[in-house]
Structure 1
Amino acid sequence: MKKKKIPTLPDDLVTKILLLLPVKSLLRSKSVCKSWRSLISNPHFAKSHFDLAATEPTHRVLLCTKINSHSAIESLDLDAPLTDNSSVARLNLKVPNFYSFDTLGSCRGFILLADLENHVFIVWNPSTGVRVKIPLSVAFLYDPHSPTVTRNLISASFTTLIGKGIGYDESRDDYLIVLMGLDKYSCLRIEAFSLKMNASYCICGIGVGYDKLGRDDYNYSFGLFFNQSLHWLVMSKARQVPVVLAFNLIDRRLSEILLPAESLALSPQFLNIMGGWLSLCFEGYDETKIWVMKEYNVHSSWTLYYHLALENTRYESCAPIWFTKGVNVLGSARGGLIKFNVEGELIERRACRACDLKLMHYDIYRESLLSLPSYFAKDEEEAPTDEKSKQETVREPGRRSKKKISCHRRWTIEN
């Protein structure tokens, strides 16, 4: 008597079904069978899943807080209730020294971290646990013993560091770590490290005057990747007003985005992506305003989207970081995260274990299964699936090739 064969679904149908699952479910599904593990681990599947989920992606906020003598890292689902502990994931990335550790930006599910105590960049996918360490001396002109190298000045090429961040060049399938600053001649200089080529690029020769914005430049130097470009808030010496400087990673060109004229009376705090738009948060003495650019790089499309009168709240300051799926706003304030409506009424809050915003780093990232391309792909290690041992094993890449790729050229500013 023949045994009945267990019916199975066609492979292409299985693929279509799996592509509809969120990242967390896919990571669990890798344990079902070898074929599923192989499929979900395939870079082409990861890219297809990333592209398909673009309409309704899952975003999380990464919080790194200082608690007494140690640091803790956790992430929260931005659209989940703040009181929902099931949406919180505690991550086991070790932070040896909070004050020498910084988040420098995020891109396509990867977060760029700088650990100046151990002199490395860390490119990390919190969703999968995959990460690589890149020695700062490999990526840039970095001398840990130089008195000019500080938390805010990673490369010895700069006298002033204006911007830093990570972005993706889809035309070359390459991730770039980018630094922008002034050299000893006060000329704007851009240095980029290619993760695909394991080589540095130097683009310099701008005679147009820019400078960092404000004394505390953490919010301003943070590079926001959006629409194929990294964006920074800077001071235009020629205009004597703040502007957004955008560096396109595909054509390697700079352009200026002027701020709305009505906003110049307030102090711009930081750039963000809210509601799928480039947004700017402004703070006055007792108010916070959010302007959004509804059509990218079209000045007339700047729209005052949100106005919060802080006198109606019990918070001295609030930094909006996200629009939830409804009409509510999620923001960071002294003591943790808060969610409030358009009238400024508090809906819910989540206490943070760090009581001071100065003792908290945060970044927003999108969940993804993506891995790093080419050179660093062979150096990635997938973390074990159990939370206790997750994210503990990492191999560092070898030294950069002696053949250094440099691109020295001049360009013009696009208005």
Structure 2
Amino acid sequence: MDACWWSLIPYLWQKLLGGVYSKKVEIESLPDDLIINILSRLPADHVLECRRVCKRWRALTSTSSFARLQLKRATPGILAGCMNYRNPRCIYVNSASEGLLQPMRRFLNAALLLDDEGEPIPPHQLAEPNIWLLTSRDGLILGRRKEPDYVVVINPLTQEEITIPEHSNNENKAFTCGLYFHPPTKEYRMLSAFLQGNYYQYIIVNLPTSSSWRALSHRFYCCPASSDAILASGNLHWIVEHNTHILTLKMQKDDHPCANSILRFNIFTENLDTMPHPEHGTCPGPSCGQMRLLEVDGNLSLSHRRGYSVNVWTLADYASWHWRRRYKLDLAHHVFPKCSLKARAHLLWIQDDEAFLHLEQGLFVYNLKLRTLREIKLSQKNRYIFCSHTKSLVSLRKI
């Protein structure tokens, strides 16, 4: 079946164009599984277009199983969160090869959203919500509002939104660690932590009912440096926030300070522990500020800048925690002009031999084979936070 579906695209596209404004178009010559196999390979916003062809297509593409299949096959892009205090917003980069920028409001086309009867859904009031970007998971954007203190989860394509009050104790607000899908219960959960005495108390919020939350039975001595967790082998992974007195005391007992540089959380057992980064025995001190976790070809990976080079490591064997160096990016002046040793150099994403880099001067795409550089223009007046984002039809309420 996979070998023949390409040849059917022109036929289906002709049906799409012919029936885009009609509810009466019916396509009965193809089986359901073949239509699902084909349509699930389209980008999520194109699937919304296909829902307008006929009731059958709308029904086939409106199930939770279809949404997860489409998500599995989709190609991610990069989401840039503008850190402008007065007007925080998100900008989407289609792909490294295209380098096209889209404000979040252009994710949406209200005419594409239909109810169960095929009628257009009115536009949502939050077409371009002003939020501080935290991270993205399965097409769901996790962010924070300026006032009041709320965390929001938004799917900008389906316009679904959930608001979650930030948890806190008497002295400290909770730090939002990330968002993840819990397969046994088929629900999304948000992990947060707040400082309590000499340890961090972690709490789990079950979505979409944000009032349902619980604290983990055990406390931990460190917290993530960001909310952008990488999921691999049933664990969420972060670079540890090293600028804490608690972790400093803990590291003094270990052979090397970087032995606790990666924090991981098992989404099934809910256990927390720390692991070392690659070459932690030869690392000259806690240099984790120049490290970033990412996903490369479905594997947990880590980029580490040392001097004018960025080494990219992939976790070859998760059980033994064995890392293998996969790439070495040269930041020499003839490749990256004006790139100093102290300047920021964060590797965001690698796909199809192209590396997506956030440098002090801006956003760049570096071809690993051709060693060519291309800049993606962003406003130099603003600071940005970046994360991977995949357009999807995933719903928090319909799983």
- State the TM bucket, normalised to the shorter chain: 0.7 to 0.9
Paired amino acid for 2:386: Y
| 8 Å CA contact 1:229, 1:249 repeated in 2 | yes
Does residue 1:320 correspond to 2:347, yes or no?
Answer: yes
Structure-2 residue corresponding to 1:42: 63
Change (3 A) 1:95 1:129: closer
Does residue 1:247 correspond to 2:265, yes or no?
Answer: yes
Q: Deviations over 1:195-247 (max 9, x none)?
A: 155410101434x6x3458xxx4xx4543333322212225524232421111
* 1:50 Cα deviation after fit: 3.1
1:164 pairs, out of 170, 177, 192, with 177
Structure-1 residue corresponding to 2:90: 73
| 8 Å CA contact 2:60, 2:66 repeated in 1 | yes
| 8 Å CA contact 1:176, 1:194 repeated in 2 | yes
Measure, in 1, the Cα distance between the counterparts of 2:308 and 2:38: 50
* 1:253 Cα deviation after fit: 1.6
Q: Deviations over 1:35-64 (max 9, x none)?
A: 32233222232233334x2xxx31011112
What secondary structure sits across from 1:104 in the alignment? strand
Does residue 1:195 correspond to 2:207, yes or no?
Answer: yes
What secondary structure sits across from 2:68 in the alignment? helix
Structure-2 residue corresponding to 1:341: 367
Return 121-130 or 171-180, whichever deviates more: 121-130
Paired amino acid for 1:113: G
| 8 Å CA contact 1:336, 1:355 repeated in 2 | no
Paired amino acid for 2:395: S
| 8 Å CA contact 1:309, 1:344 repeated in 2 | no
Paired amino acid for 2:78: V
What secondary structure sits across from 1:28 in the alignment? helix
Structure-1 residue corresponding to 2:29: 9
Measure, in 1, the Cα distance between the counterparts of 2:165 and 2:232: 26
| 8 Å CA contact 1:47, 1:370 repeated in 2 | yes
Change (3 A) 1:64 1:354: farther
1:293 pairs, out of 295, 315, 322, with 315
| 8 Å CA contact 2:189, 2:204 repeated in 1 | yes
Measure, in 2, the Cα distance between the counterparts of 1:190 and 1:81: 40
2:78 pairs, out of 45, 48, 61, with 61
Measure, in 1, the Cα distance between the counterparts of 2:309 and 2:70: 40
Q: Deviations over 1:89-147 (max 9, x none)?
A: 32125454xxxx432222222121111423221112234332222233xxx237xxx7x
Q: Deviations over 1:360-412 (max 9, x none)?
A: 122212232111146xx8xxxxxxxxxxxxxxxxxxxxxxxxxxxxxxxxxxx
| 8 Å CA contact 1:229, 1:248 repeated in 2 | yes
Does residue 1:21 correspond to 2:66, yes or no?
Answer: no
Return 254-263 or 27-36, whichever deviates more: 254-263
Q: Deviations over 1:56-88 (max 9, x none)?
A: x31011112256953442211234232xx4xx3
Return 294-303 or 346-355, whichever deviates more: 294-303
Change (3 A) 1:345 1:372: same
Structure-2 residue corresponding to 1:396: none
| 8 Å CA contact 2:354, 2:365 repeated in 1 | yes
Q: Which runs of 5+ in 1 are unaligned?
A: 156-160, 378-415
Structure-2 residue corresponding to 1:386: none
| 8 Å CA contact 2:199, 2:222 repeated in 1 | no
Q: Which runs of 5+ in 2 are unaligned?
A: 1-24, 106-126
Change (3 A) 1:129 1:76: farther
1:182 pairs, out of 195, 200, 207, with 195
| 8 Å CA contact 2:177, 2:191 repeated in 1 | yes
Structure with the bigger RCO (C-alpha within 8 Å, sep 6+) is 1
Structure-1 residue corresponding to 2:331: 309
* 1:252 Cα deviation after fit: 1.1
Measure, in 1, the Cα distance between the counterparts of 2:62 and 2:47: 10
Change (3 A) 1:343 1:368: closer
Structure-1 residue corresponding to 2:15: none
Identity of aligned residues (%): 19
Structure-1 residue corresponding to 2:110: none
Measure, in 2, the Cα distance between the counterparts of 1:48 and 1:289: 33
Count residues with an aligned counterpart.
331
TM-score, normalising length: structure 2? 0.73
Change (3 A) 1:118 1:9: farther
